[in-house]
Structure 1
Amino acid sequence: MPRTTRRQFLAGSAAGIAAVGALGFPAIKVRAAENGPVKFGLLEDQSGNFALFGLPKLHATQLAIKEINDGFTLLSGPTGPGGTGKDGAYSELADTLVESGDKGINGRQVELISPDPQSEPRMYQQLTKRLGLEDEVDVIMGAFASANREAMRPVIDQMKKMYWYNNQYEGGVADKYTFCTGAVAEQQIIPAMQYCISKFGKRIYIPAADYNFGQLSAMWTRAMAPLLGGEVVGQEFIPLSVTDFTSTIARIEQAKADWLMMYITGQNHANFYPQANAAGLKRPMGSSINLAQGYEHKRFAAPALAGMNVAVSYMEEIPTPRNQAFVKRFRAMFPDEPYIQQEAHSAYVATHLYAVACRLAKTTEQGAVMEVLESGIGIEAPAGWMFMDPATHHMSQHIRMASCDESHNITFVQEWPSIEPWWTRRLGVNLVKNPEFKQYTPADDPAFKQFI
């Protein structure tokens, strides 16, 4: 594939944006002023049950904003992977952070406004309204838990404000104003199930958090198990407040499961792993969230996470030069960060991609920026090439299967350089042509519904 340089892409972008404008998406009226700072609204948990995950996302956003204000950008382009780089990316550069020629966004410094929603859905709703109506921010990003995202989205849609959800999640959101940079079920649950069924056996037990993330992720697992040659032999939904897993461990033993598909989350639920280890529960585990998200392999003494296998979009341990350069930059600004986790990477990438879209649009006017994002652009992330799918507003992901051994060392045992967010497209979602404002579940898919 011929190489497109950043200079060539930027030179041709104006014509591309004009063509996209012919799609007819109406401009959304936002703050008219283009001469003050770009107001960047962020809602990440700095306290409460999800602060463990929210603080690294806050820090990653702060790092990206500093780089943007200092005149740097991640490489971007209109096409997907095609280079000969070792990690499957578009360029061969060891570090894809380059000078942008723009201090800030279109010459305007980025101002971060980041109140603490305290892991509470009610606070997310209140602060979303405040950011949109009082602070008049240009964009809103944030939320860790799916419950908090779903608390925000009705407010977002009512205000017609652009929102970015930078988190791994269960998938299915089809919303004109929402852009998702984290991995979804077809990029994590399906690869992890394929790997674990082939390696450990067909009998699966599902411990899941009792809210929409855990419930829908479990639904995905029940739907996919028969298609992949597996069988769900037990499941339970556990409230986020639970810290004692004695009864869960006993039920897993009784079910004679070959392996566990883990959808428990939050600081309270993390107590499962040392308790299971102390009880002598020895089962391989699959997951879409552990290791990369909660860095349990760092927080708990070995071998509590031995046998955990997760399809990840990012981990600090990725050994590529571009990731090592990112880790070095991150730790120069935040030397005390316990771990640079998957969602921190998504937040960092989203912040840079938003800046790229604004530069291509030559404005922060929301309708124009959304048109650019729906034109088909990608970015070279520390983990590898990522592409914003116009139809679904989700990103292709470079996925690696991470396996944790008895000493809590991480090995990447399999790799998929680009998995697209294909599932809602199969259901007919095309947000460019047909705006929607809902979340699909596997029950909406005739191919899956028969197994649920």
Structure 2
Amino acid sequence: MSTMRDPAHSIVQDREIPADDGPGRDESPTLTRREFVTATAVAGAALGLESATFGVPNIVSGAAASTIKFGLLEDRSGNFAIFGLNKWHGTQLAIKEINDGFTLKGGLQGPGSPGVFAKVAAKPPIEHPKLGSGSSVIDRGEAPSKDAVVWDEADEYLEKSGDQGVLGRKIDLIAPDPQSDNRQFQSLARRLILQDKADVIMAGFASAEREALRPIMDENKMLYFYNNQYEGGVADKYTFCTGALPEQQILPVMQYMIQRFGRRIYTLAADYNFGQLSAAWTRAMAPVLGAEVIGEEFIPLSVSQFSSSIARIQQVKPDWLMMYITGQNHSNYYPQAQAAGVRIPMGSSINIAQGYEHLRFKPPALARFHVTASYMEEIPTPRNRKFVERWRKMFPDEPYMAMEGHSAYVATHLYAKAVRLARTTDKPAVMEALESGIGVEAPAGWVRMDPATHHLSQYIRLASCDENHNITFVAEWPHIDPWWTRRLGVNLVRTPEYKQYIPDEDPFFKKFLKK
């Protein structure tokens, strides 16, 4: 199949692979060329090393004129389309920028290293009621304080790469629709690997989709990015995760909710691995934080009526709800609970940041809702305003710029930066570059790929939704490491693994998870 190019633009447009029972060829939306603010060069020796490669002959695998084949599997139809479309758009925007000659600032440095933008952070916004702000995240399992070196953000996060595309090669986006179907994911992944010879694959919203894919990626030694917040624990040589983790989301939001609203928690969770394991994190950490889970329910993804759940919640009267429901069906809980008179505060690691329920449903259905997020459109910083402007110039009808769209955008730029650092698209070399401590200045804040775990450090904010569905940020943590699997001994640079750890395998958690 030939590559299509819009002559007015420098992005290589999507190519659709026909699925077994899938849709026909998809055409990318018309892309408007944008003028970018020229960024000043970032100082720092490590970053200079990366930038210096632009002036020497490129060393690439394959013919110099070939494109980089970028496989993308995100749901554009089915139960998870509301999330997948946003991730598809985030990937397209990043590819447009890369093919136009722009890159995210960043390189081989980050918080705690000697480099640019470093400063000492302010006082932590939240203190543990008993342990105080200086207690250890490793020993106590709580969110770290801001008493550390973090990055002072520049308004502009893009700079010229010195290269249209990567190493003289444009990125060719191959993006079939897996239709929220695990079998389609598997079939299309094999086609991307075996027929299209993809250089990289980014795929999946739901954890069930990821777990359907990982064995295929491992078998074929395929470089795989999972760009979604999730329940944590994946330790896989070929998998790199750019979404937020329980230690970056669940622990901070639990701390806040317990301090603000009380110790009695009721959990509503989706009945698959994401919901089950996220609920296990909540059960494990509740006693550590002086709280208790007084009830939990696991809701099948097909369920859209919640009258029985609402009745049980009204009967037990928890202080607050922990929400791990997901998908378009589950989102119906919020207007139904509002109609039934439920006014209980809610905490989450996903809702409103992923599915923008605060815009989809009339106020006050999401009133008193709180979420810890690595990105939300409402972040009130100059660099995020520029990001929103660029996104909406390319996708003017986007209903909301969500957390996972940002993760997909960052992952695409991070991959391109790793290819430049490796000076090849050969997968082992790119993986080695990703394991070098590489980081980028994302629109939400600085992120860094942790070599040992293949997960990002994250800039986390806690958002609160009021009676009118306005968003305010009541706390922030500029740098939370992916520490949990490291505590379990995971070091993928030293010892490759191909599994997912669960809270039951952590001796510290296990004693709190006994039935």
What TM-score do you get using the length of structure 2 for normalisation?
0.82
Q: Which residue of 2 aligns with 1:78?
A: 108
Counterpart-to-counterpart distance in 2, 1:49 and 1:268 = 7
Is the aligned partner of 1:212 residue 2:273? yes
- Residue type matched to 1:69 in 2? N
- Structure 1 residue 355, shift from structure 2 partner: 0.3
Counterpart-to-counterpart distance in 2, 1:240 and 1:363 = 42
- Residue 34 to residue 146, structure 1, CA distance change in 2 (3 Å): farther
Q: Which residue of 1 aligns with 2:170?
A: 109
Q: Which residue of 2 aligns with 1:450?
A: 511
Q: Which residue of 1 aligns with 2:309?
A: 248
Residue of structure 1 aligned with 2:89, choices 25, 40, 59: 59
Question: Partner of 1:297: helix, strand, or coil?
Answer: helix
Q: Of Structure 1 and Structure 2, which has the larger fraction of its residues in helix?
A: 1
Structure 2: runs of 5 or more not aligned: 1-40, 54-59, 112-116, 123-148
Question: Partner of 1:140: helix, strand, or coil?
Answer: strand
Question: Partner of 2:455: helix, strand, or coil?
Answer: coil
Identity of aligned residues (%): 67
Is the aligned partner of 1:50 residue 2:80? yes
Counterpart-to-counterpart distance in 1, 2:446 and 2:433 = 18
Whether contact under 8 Å (1:165, 1:180) holds in the other structure is: yes
Per-residue CA shift, 1:163-203, capped at 9, x if unaligned?
00000100000000000000000000000100001111000
Per-residue CA shift, 1:146-166, capped at 9, x if unaligned?
000000001000001000000
Counterpart-to-counterpart distance in 2, 1:43 and 1:380 = 25
Per-residue CA shift, 1:25-70, capped at 9, x if unaligned?
xxxxx97455400000000001000000000100110000000000
- Residue 89 to residue 96, structure 1, CA distance change in 2 (3 Å): farther
- Residue type matched to 1:212 in 2? N
- Structure 1 residue 282, shift from structure 2 partner: 1.1
Question: Partner of 1:339: helix, strand, or coil?
Answer: coil
Q: Which residue of 1 aligns with 2:8?
A: none
- Structure 1 residue 80, shift from structure 2 partner: 1.7
Is the aligned partner of 1:284 residue 2:351? no
Q: Which residue of 2 aligns with 1:9?
A: 46
- Residue 327 to residue 84, structure 1, CA distance change in 2 (3 Å): farther
Counterpart-to-counterpart distance in 1, 2:296 and 2:357 = 22
Q: Which residue of 2 aligns with 1:198?
A: 259
Counterpart-to-counterpart distance in 1, 2:231 and 2:507 = 18
Is the aligned partner of 1:426 residue 2:500? no
Residue of structure 2 aligned with 1:174, choices 230, 235, 245: 235
- Residue type matched to 1:83 in 2? A
Per-residue CA shift, 1:102-129, capped at 9, x if unaligned?
1001010000000000000100111110
Counterpart-to-counterpart distance in 2, 1:38 and 1:149 = 23
Q: Which residue of 1 aligns with 2:37?
A: none
Question: Partner of 2:460: helix, strand, or coil?
Answer: strand
Q: Which residue of 2 aligns with 1:23?
A: none
My pick for the range that moved more, 421-430 or 368-377, is 368-377
Q: Which residue of 1 aligns with 2:126?
A: none
Q: Mapping of 1:217-232 within 5 angstroms?
A: 217-232=278-293
Whether contact under 8 Å (2:103, 2:159) holds in the other structure is: yes
Counterpart-to-counterpart distance in 2, 1:436 and 1:310 = 31
Q: Which residue of 1 aligns with 2:6?
A: none
Whether contact under 8 Å (1:174, 1:392) holds in the other structure is: yes
Q: Which residue of 2 aligns with 1:311?
A: 372
Whether contact under 8 Å (2:74, 2:177) holds in the other structure is: yes
Q: Which residue of 2 aligns with 1:153?
A: 214
- Residue type matched to 2:401 in 1? I
- Structure 1 residue 6, shift from structure 2 partner: 5.6
Is the aligned partner of 1:234 residue 2:271? no
- Structure 1 residue 253, shift from structure 2 partner: 1.3
Counterpart-to-counterpart distance in 1, 2:64 and 2:272 = 41
Counterpart-to-counterpart distance in 1, 2:51 and 2:101 = 21
Residue of structure 1 aligned with 2:154, choices 81, 93, 113: 93
- Residue 92 to residue 249, structure 1, CA distance change in 2 (3 Å): closer
Is the aligned partner of 1:267 residue 2:328? yes
Per-residue CA shift, 1:396-447, capped at 9, x if unaligned?
0000010000000001000100000000000000000000000001000000
Counterpart-to-counterpart distance in 2, 1:36 and 1:12 = 26
- Structure 1 residue 291, shift from structure 2 partner: 1.1
- Residue type matched to 1:272 in 2? Y
Q: CA RMSD in A?
A: 2.0
Count of aligned pairs: 437
- Residue type matched to 2:455 in 1? H
Counterpart-to-counterpart distance in 1, 2:306 and 2:61 = 50
Question: Partner of 1:154: helix, strand, or coil?
Answer: helix
Whether contact under 8 Å (2:47, 2:108) holds in the other structure is: no
Q: Which residue of 2 aligns with 1:22?
A: none
- Structure 1 residue 85, shift from structure 2 partner: 10
Counterpart-to-counterpart distance in 1, 2:79 and 2:450 = 32
Counterpart-to-counterpart distance in 2, 1:31 and 1:83 = 37
Whether contact under 8 Å (1:243, 1:272) holds in the other structure is: yes
Question: Partner of 1:315: helix, strand, or coil?
Answer: coil
- Residue 443 to residue 92, structure 1, CA distance change in 2 (3 Å): closer
Question: Partner of 1:407: helix, strand, or coil?
Answer: coil
Counterpart-to-counterpart distance in 1, 2:416 and 2:461 = 27
Structure number with the bigger relative contact order (C-alpha 8 A, sep ≥ 6) is 1
Question: Partner of 1:451: helix, strand, or coil?
Answer: helix
My pick for the range that moved more, 344-353 or 6-15, is 6-15
- Residue 92 to residue 276, structure 1, CA distance change in 2 (3 Å): closer
Question: Partner of 1:396: helix, strand, or coil?
Answer: strand
Counterpart-to-counterpart distance in 2, 1:151 and 1:230 = 35
Counterpart-to-counterpart distance in 1, 2:370 and 2:474 = 9
Whether contact under 8 Å (1:89, 1:384) holds in the other structure is: no
Q: Which residue of 2 aligns with 1:39?
A: 69
Q: Which residue of 2 aligns with 1:351?
A: 412
- Residue 99 to residue 31, structure 1, CA distance change in 2 (3 Å): closer
Counterpart-to-counterpart distance in 2, 1:8 and 1:431 = 27
Whether contact under 8 Å (2:150, 2:479) holds in the other structure is: no
- Residue 293 to residue 227, structure 1, CA distance change in 2 (3 Å): same
